[in-house]
């Protein structure tokens, strides 16, 4: 009786040299674009160099979202939401 021995399994060893993480985020808004400046909400409002605190997104009580910079300029001439024309009330956030 002849028994054949199986060859030992070779193991593949992988060493990571570096890792580059990628993340994605979105605003909690139904709209992707500021209705005032027509730029993406995650982008910059006109006159703002970098997205962030100076170009943050704000919501009205009507749930419409705009860049803070854009709605602030709009409220200087009218106290109404530019989309639904309701009295502007600062909201608590997206839907």
Tens place of pLDDT for every residue, the chain, 95 residues? 555 566 667 788 888 899 998 877 665 656 788 889 998 888 888 888 777 666 788 899 998 989 898 999 999 999 999 999 999 999 876 54
Q: Which of 28, 47, 27 is nearest to 37 (CA)?
A: 47
CA triple 69-74-80, angle to 5 deg: 125
Instruction: Output the CA–CA distances (angstroms, integers) from residue 90 to 45, 59, 94, in the order listed.
Output: 19, 6, 11
Q: Which of 78, 77, 85, 69 is nearest to 36 (CA)?
A: 69
Q: In the CATH hierarchy, which fold is given to the domain comprising 31-87?
A: Herpes Virus-1 (3.30.40)
């Amino acid at each position: 009786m002849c028994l054949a021995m199986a060859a030992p399994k070779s193991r593949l060893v992988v060493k990571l040299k570096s890792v580059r993480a990628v993340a994605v985020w979105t605003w909690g808004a139904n709209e992707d674009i500021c209705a005032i400046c027509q730029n993406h909400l995650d982008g910059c409002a006109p006159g703002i160099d970098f997205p962030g605190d100076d170009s943050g997104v704000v919501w009205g009580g009507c749930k419409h979202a705009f860049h803070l910079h854009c709605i602030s300029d709009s409220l200087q001439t009218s106290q109404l939401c530019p989309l639904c024309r309701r009295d502007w009330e600062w909201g608590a956030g997206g839907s």
